[in-house]
Structure 1
Amino acid sequence: MKKIWLGIIALVLVMGIGTSVYAAEADNGQSWFENMLPFAKKMHPDLTDSQIKDMVNNCHSKQGTARVE
């Protein structure tokens, strides 16, 4: 019975690791920002790509707060 449980646990771990590796590579090398850019352009049509990138970087900074200048 112990061998069966160990086999099931090993199978679950292998399948979980394989799924996460596949999911990490499934976006064809595009970054999160590149995937999000068309939607951001619809929300903020008056901003340039660099302004949107600056806004995203400010919102997702490690300091936790965005500073408006």
Structure 2
Amino acid sequence: MKKIATSAFTIILLLGLGTGVLAASDQIACKVGDFKEMLPMMQDKHPQLSEKQLKEMHKDCVNQMKKESSTNCMINN
């Protein structure tokens, strides 16, 4: 029983530390594919918008992510 408890505690601790490192890393940013790749998903999520409006939304999202690497854009929510 002690081995199981120790193993479970170790796994939980490692997962928690890994999550903290991942959240603190500047190397991992919100990734958005190119517009053609994202278009079908964006059309499903925002059917009321034209392709021109979706392209502008994508452009704004990419620009925002360049400005603030930790920002989550609307496309990924």
**TM-score of the superposed pair, with normalisation by structure 1:** 0.44
Larger radius of gyration: 1
Query: Which structure is higher in RCO with an 8 Å CA cutoff and minimum separation 6?
Result: 2
